[in-house]
Amino acid sequence: MDFDRATLITHFAEMSDEALLSQYCLGSLTETASTIALEEIRRRNLSIPSFESPVDEEYAGDYETVARFLNPTDAYVVRSCLEAAGVPAIVADAQLVQVNSLWAPALGGARLMVPALHVAEAKEVIAAFNSGAFALSDDEEPT
């Protein structure tokens, strides 16, 4: 649906400040409509909010595979150990392996992945896990 310039000017002039800013910031307007909306925003002396995405952590590199598991549950257990140690981790291909467990060896199993910056630390935690450092003894009472 095409609108002429006069119709767009009237349309944006009738909008509330919040609706005008929202419509403009969505980025879905045509070039002409965006120009007219911006003119109306300036006419009203409104400031356009800046949307900066919050960054919790600096970029730590692409994710790299640090371990593979034929049983996806094992991958999730080790991922939990990594996260408890402060290492961000994800499990990839778990659903695919769960759909058909006979494919697991061909697919290489479920992958445990961490950002490149955390690979060394992740390997240390995995080695500790494999050596039994996190094992609970049978004598301990649950807390």
Q: Determine the Cα–Cα distance for residues 89 and 107; give it in Å rounded to an integer.
A: 20
**Higher local confidence (pLDDT), 1 or 81:** 81
Domain chopping of the chain, boundaries: 5-43, 63-130
Residues 15-29 pLDDT 10s: 898 888 888 888 778
Residues 28-81 pLDDT 10s: 788 888 888 889 989 989 888 765 555 555 788 899 999 999 999 999 999 999
pLDDT category of residue 140 using cuts at 50, 70 and 90:
low
Checking 125-133 for CB contacts under 8 A at 24+ apart, the result is: 125/81, 125/82, 125/85, 125/87, 126/66, 126/67, 126/78, 126/81, 126/82, 129/78, 129/81
Checking 94-100 for CB contacts under 8 A at 24+ apart, the result is: 97/70, 97/72, 98/72
